[in-house]
Amino acid sequence: DAKTTQPNSMESNEEEPVHLPCNHSTISGTDYIHWYRQLPSQGPEYVIHGLTSNVNNRMASLAIAEDRKSSTLILHRATLRDAAVYYCLPSRRNKLVFGAGTILRVKS
Amino acid sequence: ETGVTQTPRHLVMGMTNKKSLKCEQHLGHNAMYWYKQSAKKPLELMFVYSLEERVENNSVPSRFSPECPNSSHLFLHLHTLQPEDSALYLCASSQGLAGLYNEQFFGPGTRLTVL
């Protein structure tokens, strides 16, 4: 399984964009890149996923490097409700292997 | 009820007790999962069921016994647990096996304490 490296924690101001990086240098050509987040006292929640092209949805954008060895989750305007642990998961078939993730703190 | 529900939300049990965790998904999905989340550790995948058949068992001790009677329900039967089994147990479901392009929907979890 591909290994991931994420910062332990990041801090953002409310209403500002946040770029959450993830390094997955051992990713294979068929692994999708998933992002999930876990709010306090809740189960994880799907955010976005992609294979090669950049992706946008109502929650966030995903920028994938051309060599696919890294990706960046972009929250365009952070709110206090975005404070959570964000997980980057290169995955295949039924394997979603969670790492330690990045704790995002949002300051008002 | 909508989404994925889990009962009970909190459970305290002794090492000699037998208890069961229940998960129900109201999304029409055909794959279900059990995860364990211990303090300060990443989520660990325990079991995967697809079309009610177990397709993954990640070296979980036999004191944890899963059961999937139909595509909407998943149980985790617990017996003779150890204090180190105290954790948040999360259930998830997906349409098709997750990992390619199918997202997983998680329940709120059962907080288990083993005394």
Under an 8 A CB cutoff, do A43 and B107 touch? Answer: yes
Chain B residue nearest residue A87, CA to CA: B42
Tokens of B69: 């009677």
Phi, psi of B70 (to 5 degrees): -155, 175
Q: Is A43 within 8 Å of B99 when comparing Cβ atoms? A: no
Which of B63, B95, B60, B97 is CA-nearest to residue B79?
A: B63
- Looking at the partner chain, which of B42, B48, B97 has a beta carbon nearest the beta carbon of A100? B42
C-beta atoms of B105 and A92 within 8 A: no
Whether residue A82 is predicted with pLDDT greater than 70 in this model: the reply is: yes
Show Cβ contacts of residue B62 under 8 Å, excluding neighbours closer than 6 positions: none
Tens digit of pLDDT for each residue in B54-107?
A: 888 888 999 999 999 999 999 999 999 999 999 999 999 999 887 767 889 999
Distance from A85 to chain B by nearest Cα, in Å?
A: 11
Q: Note the pLDDT of residue A94.
A: 67
Residue B1 pLDDT: 64
Does residue A63 surpass a pLDDT of 80? Answer: yes
Average pLDDT over residues A58-85: 95
User: What percent of chain A has a predicted confidence (pLDDT) above 90?
Assistant: 73
Q: How many angstroms separate the CA of residue A80 from the nearest CA in chain B?
A: 20
Residue B41 CB contacts under 8 Å (≥ 6 apart), including other chains:
none
Please compute the mean of the pLDDT values over residues B33-40 and round it to a whole number.
Answer: 92
Nearest to A49 by CA among A66, A32, A65, A30: A32
Please indicate whether residue B6 or residue B103 has the higher confidence score (pLDDT). B6
- A61-64 vs A55-56, strand pairing mode: antiparallel
Confidence at residue A70, expressed as pLDDT on a 0 to 100 scale: 95
Does position B20 have pLDDT exceeding 80, yes or no?
yes
Tell me how far apart the alpha carbons of residues B74 and B15 are, in angstroms, rounded to a whole number: 23
**Euclidean distance between CA atoms A78 and A92, whole angstroms:** 30
Residue of chain B with shortest Cα separation from A31: B100
Q: CA of A51 to nearest chain B CA: how many angstroms apart? A: 9
Identify the pLDDT of residue A97: 82
Q: What's chain A's average pLDDT?
A: 92
* pLDDT of B104: 92
Chain B residues with at least one Cβ partner in A under 8 Å: 4, 31, 35, 42-45, 48, 50, 55-56, 90, 92, 97-101, 103-109
Q: Tens digits of per-residue pLDDT, A20-44?
A: 999 998 888 888 999 999 998 899 9
Residues of A in contact with B101 (CB under 8 A): 32, 49
Interface test with B, best of A94, A95, A102 (most B CBs within 10 A): A94
Check if the beta carbon of residue A45 is closer than 8 Å to that of residue A37.
Answer: yes
Contact B33, A93 (CB under 8 A): no
Q: Do A94 and B92 touch (CB under 8 A)?
A: no
Q: What size, in residues, is chain A?
A: 108
